[in-house]
Amino acid sequence: MMSQKQNTSLQQVDDHDLVQRYRKHNDQDAFKELLNRHQSKIYSYIYSMVGNAEIANDIFQETFTKVITKMDETYNEQGKWIAWVMRIAHNATIDYLRKKKRFVDVNSQDDPDYDFYDRLTDETDRDAQEVIENNEAKDSLMKHISSLPKEQREVVMLRHYYEMSFKEIAELTNVSINTALGRMRYALINLRKMFDKEHGKEVKYVERR
Amino acid sequence: MEKKLNMSSVDELCVKYVFDELDPSENILVEQAMIDDQNLLIEVESLKSTWRKLKKMPELQPSENLTDAILSQAREHANQQQFFFGRQWKNPGLMATAAVVLFSLSITTAYLLPRNNHSEPATAGTQWTMESHAAAMNLPSVYSLNERENNRDQISPWIDRSNMIYLGSTEEQEMLGSRDSLNINGFRNLRTNRHTVVAPSLMKDIHLTGTQY
């Protein structure tokens, strides 16, 4: 009862205060709340980039090992905590991809049993037909996203999961803002073409120049 | 004069417009440009609708085992930190034990260290410099001088027939070395004996070594 009350109150505390509680008072509940709050976005980002549950688990754990051990040394509380964590997750993901020396397709042959939706939260309370349709739409969406070049996919994911500004994305990925904006534009244009192709529509994208 | 969109930046501005990252003045410019150019309007609407579709991207949850492992790792790390820097040191018994151990250690170290290493922290730098200089000049170290200075009550200076000033007995003098005695005399007694003490010694040195000039 007490713990439930405490958890409810922690949900109203912002990240900055939770981080302070954890760092200064060793408040494990505060850390748990931070993890609960951001885990799905961080995990989804990693997973969408590497396309393999086992590797995503490893990178996710590696990320939080660094978060736990390096927080006192490297997080200065000036910036957003999640942006700092995201940088660690992003760097760990990119390191993995560099080591592999190739871009990983989310539905690649490396992981033929991979099903993006196996790990989705329980949706049994929703209408079955709706769930199927939703899953089909998501399936198609993820298939298209996975076929984007890594740089474009990265920008889309960082914006979607983290609502990062283009300035933040540019800083994180070490490119100029215009490059980040350009990557997003090409990602959206490419996706639009894929959706149109999928639905048998002729490509309606209008070239302005 | 009416401001117009720079065509080289229009692509970036369109994306920023879709993601609502323009300031109000740029917003007005893009909207005006869309009124003027229907293709630009179609492109912006296309980008917007594609982005709306991406909003359906699912969020995945890591497994509970994974999150539990991370939470227990955080707990362990916090406990380790706490052991070294945290509440453990607030225990008065532990604090007292630590203080006694540190005190004993410092006393033991003080006895074990060679006496030449003793110096006041505030003058350590100066002491080192002076000692180094003294060593380089083949002179008695400052510490030696200071030590003898401290022991001056036990040493009685005396003057021989050649007006050479000595400290203590001849045995003590032998232990100190004649050159030391001269320098000590120089420090202590030059005001009264400066013309008799230092000069013979310097001349003697020159003759003995032959390397001074």
Span A139-164, pLDDT tens digits: 778 888 888 999 999 999 999 988 89
Report the residue of B44, B57, B63 to disrupt the A interface, i.e. the one with the largest count of A CBs within 10 Å.
Answer: B57
The count of CB pairs under 8 A between chains A and B is 133
Closest partner residue to A205 (CB to CB) among B46, B59, B74 is B46
Please tell me the distance from the alpha carbon of residue A39 to that of residue A34, in angstroms, as a whole number. 8
Please tell me the distance from the alpha carbon of residue A206 to that of residue B18, in angstroms, as a whole number. 17
Amino acid B123: pLDDT: 44
Instruction: Give the β-pairing of B157-159 and B165-167.
Output: antiparallel
Amino acid B90: pLDDT: 54
Amino acid B130: pLDDT: 43
The answer to whether B116 and B104 are in contact (CB under 8 A) is: no
| CB count in 10 Å sphere of residue A40 | 17
Q: How far is CA A96 from the centre of its chain?
A: 15
Q: Is B67 in contact with A35 (Cβ distance < 8 A)?
A: yes
* A116 neighbourhood in chain B, CB within 8 Å: 58, 60
- Closest-CA distance, B32 to chain A, in angstroms, reads 16
Residue matched to tokens 């006496």? B115
Per-residue pLDDT tens for A53-89?
A: 899 999 999 999 999 988 877 777 777 888 889 889 9
Looking at chain A, the whole-number percentage of residues with pLDDT higher than 70 is 75
In chain B, the residue whose alpha carbon lies closest to the alpha carbon of A161 is: B59
In chain A, the residue whose alpha carbon lies closest to the alpha carbon of B53 is: A141
Closest partner residue to B74 (CB to CB) among A31, A47, A120 is A31
> pTM for this structure?
0.58
Report the residue of A34, A70, A184 to disrupt the B interface, i.e. the one with the largest count of B CBs within 10 Å.
Answer: A184
Closest partner residue to A206 (CB to CB) among B16, B19, B43 is B43
Per-residue pLDDT of chain B (213 residues; tens, 9 = 90+): 445 566 568 888 999 999 999 999 989 989 999 999 999 999 999 999 999 988 878 888 999 999 999 999 888 888 877 666 555 555 667 667 777 888 888 888 777 766 554 444 444 444 444 444 444 444 444 444 455 555 555 556 667 777 666 665 555 555 555 554 455 544 554 454 445 444 444 444 444 444 444
* A61 neighbourhood in chain B, CB within 8 Å: 66, 69-70
Mean local confidence (pLDDT), A181-188 = 95
* A189 neighbourhood in chain B, CB within 8 Å: 46-47, 50
Q: Is A181 in contact with B75 (Cβ distance < 8 A)?
A: no
Please tell me the distance from the alpha carbon of residue B213 to that of residue B209, in angstroms, as a whole number. 10
Interchain CB contact of B39 with A (< 8 Å): yes
Closest partner residue to A192 (CB to CB) among B14, B19, B50 is B50
Interchain CB contact of A102 with B (< 8 Å): no
Please tell me the distance from the alpha carbon of residue B180 to that of residue B140, in angstroms, as a whole number. 7
In chain B, the residue whose alpha carbon lies closest to the alpha carbon of A26 is: B78
Per-residue pLDDT tens for A23-61?
A: 888 888 999 999 999 999 999 999 888 888 899 999 999
DSSP characters for B99-117?
HHHHHHHHHHHHHHS-GGG
Amino acid A192: pLDDT: 92
Q: Is B61 in contact with A32 (Cβ distance < 8 A)?
A: no
Report the candidate in B19, B18, B25 with the shortest Cα–Cα distance to residue B5. Answer: B25
Report the candidate in B67, B58, B65 with the shortest Cα–Cα distance to residue A120. Answer: B58
Q: What is the ipTM of this complex?
A: 0.71
Please tell me the distance from the alpha carbon of residue B157 to that of residue B189, in angstroms, as a whole number. 9
Closest partner residue to A65 (CB to CB) among B47, B63, B73 is B73
Amino acid at B4: K
Report the candidate in A180, A208, A148 with the shortest Cα–Cα distance to residue B54. Answer: A148
Report the candidate in B82, B100, B101 with the shortest Cα–Cα distance to residue B90. Answer: B82
The answer to whether A35 and A83 are in contact (CB under 8 A) is: no
CA A93 vs CA A61, A66, A97, B49: distances in Å = 12, 13, 6, 29
Amino acid A2: pLDDT: 52
Closest partner residue to B58 (CB to CB) among A116, A156, A181 is A116
* A165 neighbourhood in chain B, CB within 8 Å: 21
Q: Is B73 in contact with A64 (Cβ distance < 8 A)?
A: yes
* A184 neighbourhood in chain B, CB within 8 Å: 15, 19
